[in-house]
Chains A and B, each alone.
Chain A
Amino acid sequence: MRFSKSLIILVLSASLAACGDSDNDEVEVTDPVMPVMSYEFTVQVTNLTNAQPLSPIAAIAHSEGMLWQIGEPASAALELMAEGGDNSELLATDFAMASSSAESPLPPGEQVTLMLSTEQLDSLKISLATMLVNTNDAFTGLNAIDVSSLAVNESLSRTSFAYDAGTEANSEAQGTIPGPADSGEGYNEMRDDINRVAMHPGVVSQDDGLTNSVLTSQHKFDNPVARITITRTQ
């Protein structure tokens, strides 16, 4: 709509210019143009874990919907991300007004900044999700954080918990973990766990009593696992 309106204005001003009435040009052109309001946010994520790289972080801007709910089965998009780190379907979530992905996994102790730009501020929420890759199906993130009242240059910070997608049993077995600890299988459409999203119980590891685990004490984690700062920049 806005595009076609400005086209009309361009045509109008062009025809006015053609009349040679150059004195009035500026007024005629600038007055009716509706500026497109743009709201911009940065999402900075810090990986707080010892040895759990975070898969490329997916962030979305939206006004409704949730990426997951405790007690409900994981969506297919969440399962794909939580088991294998593939965030493509999460980024394409139907209720997302804007989306952004980190280019690469986020190593422990490092941080990354993503940007989101929207044309709506009313009821605006930001969500993000990422896999702890040296696990079967652990993920972390934030769900529908309201940013509609943030002023320009104002920030909010949160820490995030480790969740379990509930779609793959936490066997920690060789061949089942996609991260560098195993380089095993990521996504598998079979659901052999409780099929509800819950908090993650943590990894056990071969050093703490799970003989068949490919993980070591290095891969253990505790809450919180990430720190997130959302800043409105425009």
Chain B
Amino acid sequence: MKALPLTLFAACAVTSLASQAAELDIKLTNLTQGLHFTPILITAHNSDSKLFSVAMPASTALQTMAEGGNLEPLMTEATAANSDMVANPAEGLLAPASSTMASLSTKDGNNYLSLTAMLLPTNDGFVGLDSWMIPAEAGTYTIYLNAYDAGTEANDELVVEGSGMPGTPGIPAAPGGNAGMNGSGVTSSETNMMVHIHPGNLGDDDLEAGMSDLDNTVHRWLNPVAMLTVTVK
């Protein structure tokens, strides 16, 4: 009996306020076996205020997130754009095969949902959702997310402490504690300077030497890397 007025209210809200303000429950699952996500940023925004665009150069704010996991510049831009946001719902890293939940109330006009989080260990890889239109119809929706490359740093696959600042080569951390050292570097150039689907980590089977500091049986992945479940109330 108690649920009935609530249900009726939700039905009215959906029909009368279609494609306007929404109440969202969000669950993000890291599907990978060996990658951590840095703090996650989820924004609801208008059609212009995207977090990233494929086949376009990364903004400095996106680069800062993708190379070191720092969300501050993206959050500053989102605030300026009057976006609604959830920052760092997992309160730190989201471990492999783990989930986090968040709730988001969106304002009129913020009809698109986007998400970013850096993938560790990568040089400038991130999991991304770009401008998913929030459905007007109440329900639960499942979206699979791919791994992108910001195109701002060569994928040398060398773990270098303190390399998270934009423009500093190297992977700032391998949170699983299972990376190697003394690699010679897979490459020193980034040929595609636009945001693109990440070609994947290469890794090697020598944790003491070789080209890469990454383990080729642990740090590779296949898309998708995350599952996003959005419940529109």
Contact = CB atoms under 8 A, between A and B. Distances in A.
Interface of A: 70-71, 161-162, 164, 166, 169-172, 194, 196-202, 204, 208-212, 222-223
Given A194-B97, A197-B97, A169 B217 contact: yes
Contact of B216 (A198, A210, A222): A210
A166 B97 contact: yes
Contacts of A164: 33
A222 B222 contact: yes
A201 B33 contact: yes
Given A198-B96, A199-B224, A70 B31 contact: yes
B220 A70 contact: no
B32 interface: yes
Contacts of A204: 203, 205, 216-217, 220
Interface of B: prevailing SS: loop
Given A164-B33, A194-B33, A199-B222, 11 more contacts: A70-B29, A71-B99, A171-B217, A197-B97, A198-B97, A199-B32, A199-B33, A201-B32, A201-B218, A201-B219, A208-B216
> What's the interface size class on B, roughly?
20 to 34
A128 to B, nearest CB: 19
A70 B97 contact: yes
Interface of B: 29, 31-34, 96-99, 202-205, 216-225, 227
Contact of A201 (B98, B204, B221, B227): B221
Contact of A199 (B31, B203, B219): B31
A224 B185 CA distance: 31
B33 A198 contact: yes
A169 B34 CA distance: 12
B98 A71 contact: yes
A194 B177 CA distance: 13
A202 B223 CA distance: 10
Nearest to B211: A209
Contacts of B33: 164, 166, 194, 198-201
Contacts of B204: 209
Contacts of B218: 201
B204 to A, nearest CB: 5
B42 to A, nearest CB: 19
Given A71-B99, A171-B217, A199-B32, A211 B205 contact: yes
The interface centre, meaning the residue of B32, B96, B222, B223 with most chain A CB atoms within 10 A of its CB, is: B222
The interface centre, meaning the residue of A161, A171, A209 with most chain B CB atoms within 10 A of its CB, is: A209
11 contacts: A70-B97, A71-B99, A166-B33, A166-B97, A172-B217, A199-B221, A199-B224, A201-B221, A204-B217, A209-B216, A210-B216
